[in-house]
Structure 1
């Protein structure tokens, strides 16, 4: 018969382990009240990972009662070398004890004793009473307690991995010795962690050898006279008092005067009624999800006019949809929650595998049969009915996916993905379940939990399981609509959502579905030329090196440059010399280095852009169809993927040549490029209200030349040198990004002191820029976020961080985000207005691409003059700033020619 079990946990040791395992993210693990939670997260994971599956009969978490114990009375400097416990951890000890109690585990501490002594005493009591005892700690000193019935688990690498110590393992580690000998070894060698000395000059190997020979420190000193005269004997004689004191300090007491008995340690299991609000207070989303999926009710604070309304405790009314019961869908006549499941993230090519439609009033209807969506079905009729509002997740994806099926989605009023993103741009997850959890709705699982991911991704074969997941997704969309729209209103972001982001989804969907034509032959010709160019560079590099080698091998390149050719290595890595671009650029005017940098540039253009574009041209229309990620960046800028058309290189001619392959989709059509000029600096002038900065734009001056005159004291009657203007340009844009004197010195090649003087001069010339930068950082510290002109928020969790680097980055971000984010607002407003103007004018033109501050169009040649004027005027007037917006336009036969 198996023995009953006693589980003993070293609270302080594991709390410290958990805290320092996540020390680099300490300022990110903070609940809504500012309580740090990194130790609480780790400790809770430990309890869930050990106690829950263990299900012990008895359990105890022992804590240190304070720094003063009987050991400090014996040795003043015991643990005296330890740093003061960080305040971020101190504030977690009280909730840690509460967490333990709520898990049904006894907490206990004893004045003048350490947690080790409580555990040692209770372990012996348990062993004597016939229990199998398991001790969990982060302290290897506990291994001295190991017996046949006492096992010690020691955490390592934070708390995620555990070593199990048994008598056999002790014997293996200590060359046949037993656990009782560990104290003897520690007495001789000392312990730097606990700060007791041992015998000076006696290390671990010697200590082990002596204890193997003499069994214990007292026995060793009984035989000290028999030892041969040696330096070791002298050390032992001189260090006798330290050895005996250290031995005593190292020994864990098994007879501490504890006031608890084994009967007090009955493991009760978690108190779910009270642990749920505890987790809610700590913002432990993952734990709440786990409990919700186990059937526990997660209460919320949301209310309707009818009173309390618990969105996480709502029963799902789900029906499988077939041809036979399609008439039920026709009863959905006001607002519907709709979700379409695809089998891949790229919705331009993914297959739809199921859908769900319904609402709380009439229930939900799900099917795998996509045919029920199309033709003349009631589902299609509802989706295309402009009088029925739709609540969805990722409207843009839905527009494109349904368009591929011949369905025209109308009247989308709520997009859960978009609203969640606007409420917190830091949380750019695109999994419905995860976003629902972030918004305190737990009655839905993530896709990874249901489908798996990567190679393990699979849609459930059982309709019941699949439809349950689809139904819960749709229900989450419907139930989260009211509380999230309420939050948007409170944040003054409803206009941002309804007037900018939601209308933009339809425009982006149209752009994506339209695609842009790519001339494959042009790319193939370019590929051939680049191959020749790479071959020429290869031969040049081989001649410069004196032999052939693998140019793309950093290791071989390092040997060539720094060993064979004798150049001074600037940086080393674990595998050898660093040959990064940054290192190579710092090496100066070295012919082989110039050749290597050119080779790398050309190779990247060839593989990433030329060959990459050839792979993604759709065979059906000779176009590429990018996806714009509307809910990714924290500034509000759009991001392009599959393929990324926003980062085609333009600084070197080979990169610019790629744009020649982007051509109109029809003969006799042309490409129009419309680009905002210096929009971020114009936004800076507007939001800072700086008169000098505004005057430059209002007077139509070259802003970089104007800044050069001010900060480098260039007289008005003299032209601005090109190099000076370039430096002024770096300063202008550097200020936008909160650049430091160190960063500016690197950018423009001056000393750090000179850069500091330049920045100070800039702020003297543009004093309101300085005032604004200080005020926006102060506001961020107070509110935790900054805003754009359209009330787009960016939360800055590190703005009050104690760590300098994290705080400094947050301060620079506080300055940059309102500027870059406002620029994003402006181009989005422009896109909406331009599309409306094109439709009003009845033009055939298509908006094709958005590349940061640039819009790309195609249109018949005979429309170009009208389109150019329409686009320019509409973009110029997108918003009213204190300075004019300026748009430059270009027309050509390709994107390249339109620049």
Structure 2
């Protein structure tokens, strides 16, 4: 019979470790995920290395335990759990459920006590027990059969405690650790101990006398006067402290070792939660496809020559491509349906049929599309024009519920209960095995997508009308798709030689930095190797290690930044890393994205974010780094596509703060914007209680952090990290801010109440964000929903405004008969290319149009610039 191997995890402790070890991460819905991700990485390492037969994650049941009856201040003074961590606990539990790992908590007891009781049971059965925690208190459980791993730094660095290791490290037996805690106390748990007795003194006493009882029986032998007095006066406290530090091994739990058998995860559930949290790397490691529902039979006719009589005045239209990037992918064919017939046209049929192309171009023939932007842009590459698009499945479903955004037709259809279409992966495969199927399989797959569009139109449009969102869909998003498609097809001219030259200059800088780093280090080594770099920094140069990993010293950016003042080599290494990333990601990466026409054609994702913001991919031109001058210089490669033309940019100034002023109706904020004041300086004056001309740069920076932080629902923890101040100071700062701007405070309270009453919040144009967790009895889920309720209307309304501006701007350019073309939207900025002679006109009409996009009770302000490249625009 296989010997049992029982792995017991301290859930709260490991969650805290993961949260503070990793930077704050969020998925596209704004949910913080760093603790879940770090915990999952730890869990995977544990499963691979320990291969448990039995497993449990123990949780603390609440703030009050039986120990509080002994000492009311037990664990007093602990800071409140950051909301960014609190909101992740439900997802941690959900993830563990998908792993099929038992979880347990017990009222009035701590996770330590559950672990202690189960490890004691396992020990008595001679099972191998592994305990993993960040709390050294659990080392008292170490026995011949029980090993305790204590996390040190990061999420994978642990220290292994066996009885031998405890003896080697402390010179005492594991059971004496509770005596040590009784004497020295534990500030993290607010266990008082004996004043003046630290770890060194406690260990000395225990090595000599063995236990607290023996120490007090031998007080006359302790000659150090102050120590003797402290021990004598605090005898009761010492014994109480030991009791508080003692882990219970006979807690009244209702589970036993036999209930903890572990046989592996539920893959479907695990895939679902990885998808929800956007853990793409972990998702790829899992492999496998979701289970597909049984498909109903459909009849799809492949035509080699299209007859105009087969085309109706209204049809669902789908462009079938094997790859997502429709600006590069081959078009395999086009499927059509009006429910009386479903047709599939291989693309060569489309290309040679003038009559079909005329039908596509005819604005009176209504087309229902899966993705209108992809349809237009993909066909435009082949000189085929599409007009008359009257429905877009992707956009309609996205507006109905942006939280479940997906570009896959099968996934969208499934949200509305329609399962008669397959996932692309099922038909094409994935990775190296991805390939075109037989022609009849391809035709049927494309036909099913067209049928899904046809069948779902009425359902989605009815839902949009019921939600009063049809105008948002039909008057904003659908026309915008046409404009974005034109922008994608137009592309941005890119000076390949200039980009390559910037790359050459970067490479030279990188080489100079390498030489300098080798000179300072006194030898050559691989700067990109954390192991070799660690040896140089912490062994040869002698810097103090901050973190260690299994393979050596941590040389992560956050570690090096903390060491920057200790040695000149650090700043050079940090710059070296930044420049090598710029070179590989943005120089080499952008060079690969230049199309044959000498342009980069980015794709705008219109149906992705929960706030309505556009994002850019293949490549992401919204995210070219500008903090370093070397990063800003990359923009010099983006130029007009025609001679004697320039680039022109127009940028909304502080649009989200202006939306906040409008929505909150806060008089001070509104007046500040009406007075065209420096909003951050004005805020600082109010918060710090000084005159505007007395505001220092530090005050303004702090006010700026709060101004923007409020928009994103920042917590005291988040603000403390941004400003490098204590959480208490940050909390006070936020409180003072809200007292200074009562309208903002009222807005926050009111919007949360509205969300609770109706289950969602809306933007100025009625874009919705559903928040089912707002009524949850779970504090963590509810608090996350409340923060989301506060910031979504602001961020989403800013997105609505610039989208409306793009539509209005496109119409104005046409009305004025201008040659100028809109090229990019970068957050709150629009970028055009224009003949020189039209710059003066754009300087007048672009701010005019953008500032009038949506009327607010504060003025919108737009600043413009122009130049011969994106970098030169000033």
**Match of 2:605?**
629
SS of residue in 2 equivalent to 1:543: helix
Tell me which of 356, 380, 384 is aligned to 2:361.
384
**Match of 1:367?**
345
**Match of 1:572?**
548
SS of residue in 2 equivalent to 1:445: coil
Which moves more between the two structures, 796-805 or 530-539? Answer: 796-805
**Match of 1:293?**
294
Question: For each residue in 1:254-282, what CA deviation from the matched residue of structure 2 results, as whole angstroms up to 9, or x when unmatched?
Answer: xxxxxxxxxxxxxxxxxxxxxxxxxxxxx
**Match of 1:525?**
501
The answer to whether residue 291 in structure 2 is matched with residue 316 in structure 1 is no
**Match of 1:739?**
714
Alignment partners' CA distance in 1, 2:322 and 2:333: 9
**Match of 2:320?**
341
Gap regions ≥5 residues in structure 1: 1-23, 25-80, 87-155, 163-190, 207-248, 253-288, 296-314
Instruction: Kindly report which structure 2 residues correspond to 1:821-840, keeping only aligned pairs within 5 A, or say none.
Output: 821-840=796-815
**How much does 1:578 deviate?**
2.7
Instruction: Kindly report which structure 2 residues correspond to 1:631-710, keeping only aligned pairs within 5 A, or say none.
Output: 631-710=607-686
Give the direction of change, closer, same or farther, for the CA distance of 1:625–1:714 in structure 2 (3 Å limit). Answer: same
The structure number with the bigger radius of gyration is 1
**How much does 1:673 deviate?**
0.7
**How much does 1:668 deviate?**
0.8
**Match of 2:45?**
none
Tell me which of 544, 550, 575 is aligned to 1:598.
575
Instruction: Kindly report which structure 2 residues correspond to 1:21-40, keeping only aligned pairs within 5 A, or say none.
Output: none
**How much does 1:579 deviate?**
2.3
1:330–1:378: 8 Å Cα contact kept in structure 2?
A: no
**How much does 1:487 deviate?**
0.6
Gap regions ≥5 residues in structure 2: 1-17, 19-56, 63-94, 102-113, 130-255, 260-289
Give the direction of change, closer, same or farther, for the CA distance of 1:895–1:196 in structure 2 (3 Å limit). Answer: closer
2:680–2:707: 8 Å Cα contact kept in structure 1?
A: yes
Give the direction of change, closer, same or farther, for the CA distance of 1:406–1:160 in structure 2 (3 Å limit). Answer: same
Alignment partners' CA distance in 2, 1:333 and 1:364: 12
**Match of 2:424?**
447
**How much does 1:534 deviate?**
0.7
**How much does 1:631 deviate?**
1.1
Question: For each residue in 1:465-494, what CA deviation from the matched residue of structure 2 results, as whole angstroms up to 9, or x when unmatched?
Answer: 222222111111001000111111111111
Give the direction of change, closer, same or farther, for the CA distance of 1:754–1:352 in structure 2 (3 Å limit). Answer: same
SS of residue in 2 equivalent to 1:426: helix
SS of residue in 2 equivalent to 1:885: coil
**How much does 1:555 deviate?**
2.4
**How much does 1:773 deviate?**
1.3
**Match of 1:412?**
389
Give the direction of change, closer, same or farther, for the CA distance of 1:467–1:705 in structure 2 (3 Å limit). Answer: same
Instruction: Kindly report which structure 2 residues correspond to 1:77-88, keeping only aligned pairs within 5 A, or say none.
Output: none
1:293–1:444: 8 Å Cα contact kept in structure 2?
A: no
SS of residue in 2 equivalent to 1:843: coil
**Match of 1:396?**
373
State the Cα RMSD in Å: 3.0
Tell me which of 428, 438, 443 is aligned to 1:467.
443
Alignment partners' CA distance in 1, 2:257 and 2:691: 77
The answer to whether residue 867 in structure 2 is matched with residue 888 in structure 1 is no
**How much does 1:520 deviate?**
1.2
**Match of 2:587?**
610
2:121–2:257: 8 Å Cα contact kept in structure 1?
A: no
Give the direction of change, closer, same or farther, for the CA distance of 1:251–1:455 in structure 2 (3 Å limit). Answer: closer
Aligned length in residues: 619
Give the direction of change, closer, same or farther, for the CA distance of 1:581–1:383 in structure 2 (3 Å limit). Answer: same
SS of residue in 1 equivalent to 2:656: helix
SS of residue in 1 equivalent to 2:402: coil
Question: For each residue in 1:238-296, what CA deviation from the matched residue of structure 2 results, as whole angstroms up to 9, or x when unmatched?
Answer: xxxxxxxxxxx9999xxxxxxxxxxxxxxxxxxxxxxxxxxxxxxxxxxxx9685165x
After superposing on structure 2, the runs of 4+ consecutive aligned residues of structure 1 that deviate more than 6 Å are 81-86, 156-162, 191-202, 249-252
**Match of 1:433?**
410
2:118–2:257: 8 Å Cα contact kept in structure 1?
A: no
The answer to whether residue 126 in structure 2 is matched with residue 203 in structure 1 is yes
SS of residue in 1 equivalent to 2:315: strand
Give the direction of change, closer, same or farther, for the CA distance of 1:424–1:767 in structure 2 (3 Å limit). Answer: same
**How much does 1:722 deviate?**
2.1
**Match of 2:11?**
none
Alignment partners' CA distance in 1, 2:772 and 2:521: 50
SS of residue in 2 equivalent to 1:646: coil
SS of residue in 2 equivalent to 1:422: helix
Alignment partners' CA distance in 2, 1:485 and 1:450: 29
SS of residue in 2 equivalent to 1:458: coil
SS of residue in 2 equivalent to 1:390: strand
Instruction: Kindly report which structure 2 residues correspond to 1:765-776, keeping only aligned pairs within 5 A, or say none.
Output: 765-776=740-751
Instruction: Kindly report which structure 2 residues correspond to 1:27-66, keeping only aligned pairs within 5 A, or say none.
Output: none
Question: For each residue in 1:687-707, what CA deviation from the matched residue of structure 2 results, as whole angstroms up to 9, or x when unmatched?
Answer: 111111111001111101100
SS of residue in 2 equivalent to 1:674: strand
**Match of 1:256?**
none
1:316–1:475: 8 Å Cα contact kept in structure 2?
A: no
Question: For each residue in 1:546-577, what CA deviation from the matched residue of structure 2 results, as whole angstroms up to 9, or x when unmatched?
Answer: 32221112222233323333333333344333
Alignment partners' CA distance in 1, 2:125 and 2:320: 68
**How much does 1:331 deviate?**
4.0
Tell me which of 435, 452, 465 is aligned to 1:489.
465
SS of residue in 2 equivalent to 1:675: strand
**Match of 1:89?**
none
**How much does 1:203 deviate?**
3.1
**How much does 1:380 deviate?**
1.6
The answer to whether residue 699 in structure 2 is matched with residue 724 in structure 1 is yes
Instruction: Kindly report which structure 2 residues correspond to 1:121-520, keeping only aligned pairs within 5 A, or say none.
Output: 203-204=126-127, 292-293=293-294, 295=296, 316-323=298-305, 326-327=306-307, 329-360=308-339, 362-368=340-346, 370-463=347-440, 465-520=441-496
Question: For each residue in 1:293-347, what CA deviation from the matched residue of structure 2 results, as whole angstroms up to 9, or x when unmatched?
Answer: 165xxxxxxxxxxxxxxxxxxx734222122xx22x4243321011111132211
1:372–1:379: 8 Å Cα contact kept in structure 2?
A: no
**How much does 1:192 deviate?**
8.5
SS of residue in 2 equivalent to 1:694: helix
Give the direction of change, closer, same or farther, for the CA distance of 1:251–1:507 in structure 2 (3 Å limit). Answer: closer
Give the direction of change, closer, same or farther, for the CA distance of 1:750–1:82 in structure 2 (3 Å limit). Answer: closer
**How much does 1:802 deviate?**
6.0
Question: For each residue in 1:839-874, what CA deviation from the matched residue of structure 2 results, as whole angstroms up to 9, or x when unmatched?
Answer: 000000010111000010111101110122111100
**How much does 1:426 deviate?**
1.6
SS of residue in 1 equivalent to 2:833: strand
Alignment partners' CA distance in 1, 2:856 and 2:674: 11
Question: For each residue in 1:110-168, what CA deviation from the matched residue of structure 2 results, as whole angstroms up to 9, or x when unmatched?
Answer: xxxxxxxxxxxxxxxxxxxxxxxxxxxxxxxxxxxxxxxxxxxxxx9978799xxxxxx
**Match of 1:60?**
none
Instruction: Kindly report which structure 2 residues correspond to 1:816-855, keeping only aligned pairs within 5 A, or say none.
Output: 816-855=791-830
Question: For each residue in 1:582-605, what CA deviation from the matched residue of structure 2 results, as whole angstroms up to 9, or x when unmatched?
Answer: 222233423222111111111111
2:58–2:115: 8 Å Cα contact kept in structure 1?
A: no
**How much does 1:204 deviate?**
4.3
**How much does 1:739 deviate?**
1.2
**Match of 1:581?**
557
Give the direction of change, closer, same or farther, for the CA distance of 1:373–1:721 in structure 2 (3 Å limit). Answer: same
Q: If the length of structure 2 is used for normalisation, what is the TM-score?
A: 0.67
Q: If the length of structure 1 is used for normalisation, what is the TM-score?
A: 0.65
